[in-house]
Structure 1
Amino acid sequence: MRKNSWLPEVFDDFLTNGLMQRTNATAPAINVMENETQYIVELAAPGLRKEDFQVHVNEDGNLTIKMEQKNEVKEENEKTHYLRREFSYSKYEQTLLLPEDVDREGIAARVNDGVLRVDLPKVKKEEQKLFRPIEID
């Protein structure tokens, strides 16, 4: 299997230099895979819906994944006129430096079975012809 030079640097930089903003002590698990035609990023997101995510390419051409979930449960007991609130809030943001061979226009994302999947297609390389005529000026 081919080793990518960009992958370790991306995660080392963001995990060690404080550029990644985290309000949660535990960040979701991320898998990054590669095949001949694309890179695939998977982020563990149990219980989240697509409305809880924002995925975009930022002004520097890098992939930004934002996750924010707010849950509010109100329970009112009429006998004691008691109002109880429970808040649950989680927020996560990660920016991934994309390799040069990613087709930024073709990036797609979806949430299924508790996993956010982002497909990063590679730019199709035109095969060079070995033999071709060369015009003489």
Structure 2
Amino acid sequence: MLPDRHATSPLARRALLSGLVLAGPAAAQPARPRVGEVTAVRGSAYVRYSAEALRSLAVPDPLRLDDLVTTGLASRLAVQLSGGIGLTLGERASLLLDRHAVAGLDPGTVLRLSGVPCCCRRPRPGRTPSSS
């Protein structure tokens, strides 16, 4: 016979709830490294990671590895990535911040974009983003 759910002691209920909170979805996923932040938004811009819900972006929201950032119609998004690379995305653009995007562009790298406005700024050697 199963025990009556109302007969469970308050202490047992608290212990059970504590175990559920500790074993929740956030505890199962390792923290993703921060790879940059939003520096400007005009219009609508969003971020999504894996199966998480779409979130609106605003200055100075952090960006994390494997985030997918997107812009809406007539929108612009400027981000500063780790290592000093600045990106500006135009309307209806998407960018996956994977290890290739955040590692930096090697000299001679060619970005091929199809109908998507994008600007990439890389600091000159020996300069920080604020002094360029």
Structure-2-length-normalised TM-score: 0.25
Q: Which has the higher contact order (CA 8 A, sep 6+)?
A: 1
More strand by share: 1
